[in-house]
Amino acid sequence: MEDNIRDKTSMMDAMHRRWDALNALLDSLTDEEMTGPTDSHGWTVCDHLTHIAAWERSASQMLRGKPRYDGLGIPASLWRAGDEDDINDAIQKANAGLTPAAARAMLNQAHAELLALLEPLSDEELSRPQSAFLPAEAGGGGAQPAYAYIVGNSLGHYHEHLPWIRKIAGRDG
C-alpha cells in the first residue's frame, strides 16, 4: 500500500488526483491512438482501460462480499489457479475490440461503482482485513487491510498504467 495512504480521506484524495490525471491523458488521445498502436504484449490503450476497469470492479466485488473473479469476468477456476498473467490475458481477450467510447464507459462505470461503495465506509471498516469482506472466497484476501486491495486496484493501478498508455500513444517524450 502506498505510504501516504493512512485513512479514507487520503485514499480518496489520491484517487481523485490520479483519476483526473488518467482522464486528462485519455481526453487528449484520438480514437486511432487508443485502438491502433500496441505495446510489446499486443495491448492497445483500450485494452489497458478495460483491464483497469476489471480490477476496479474486483475491488467493488470485495466490498460487497462477493467473489472478486466475478468483477474480473473470469471463471473461478482461473482465479483459484492464481496466475495473474493468465487472468490479465483472459480479461484482455474478453474485451478486445471495444471502441474507445465503450472502453471508457466501462472504466467510468467501474469507477463510479467503487466510489459509491466507498462512500458510506469508515476508516475502521476499510482497515479490516480483506478476509472480513470475503469469507466465502477461496483465499479470502488474507490479513491485508481492505485499503490495500482498493488502492492497488484503483489509484495505484491508474498510476501504474499511465506510462504504458503514454508510450503506446507515442506521448512518452
Q: What is the pLDDT of residues 69-102, one digit of tens each?
A: 999 999 999 988 878 999 999 999 999 999 999 9
Separation between Cα atoms, residue 54 and residue 58, nearest integer Å: 6
pLDDT per residue as tens digits for the range 40-66: 999 999 999 999 999 999 999 999 988
Please give the domain boundaries of the chain with CATH numbers for all domains. 8-168 (1.20.120.450)
pTM score of the predicted model? 0.94
What residues pair up with 145 in beta bridges, in sequence order? 129
Taking the C-alpha atoms of residue 51 and residue 149, their distance in angstroms, rounded to an integer, is 15
What was the pLDDT predicted at 136?
Answer: 67
Task: Say yes or no to pLDDT of 170 above 60.
Answer: yes
Which pLDDT belongs to residue 139? Answer: 58
Q: Is 70 exposed, middle or buried (0-12, 13-18, 19+ CB in 10 A)?
A: middle
4: how many CB neighbours lie within 10 A of its CB?
9
Q: In this predicted structure, which of 1-10, 50-59, 78-87, 152-161 has the lowest mean pLDDT?
A: 1-10
Determine the 3-state secondary structure of 79 from DSSP. helix
Q: Is the pLDDT of residue 141 over 60?
A: yes
Confidence of residue 128 (pLDDT cuts 50, 70, 90): very high
Question: What pLDDT score was predicted for residue 4?
Answer: 72
Average confidence (pLDDT) over 130-148: 77
Distance CA 123, CA 77 (A): 33
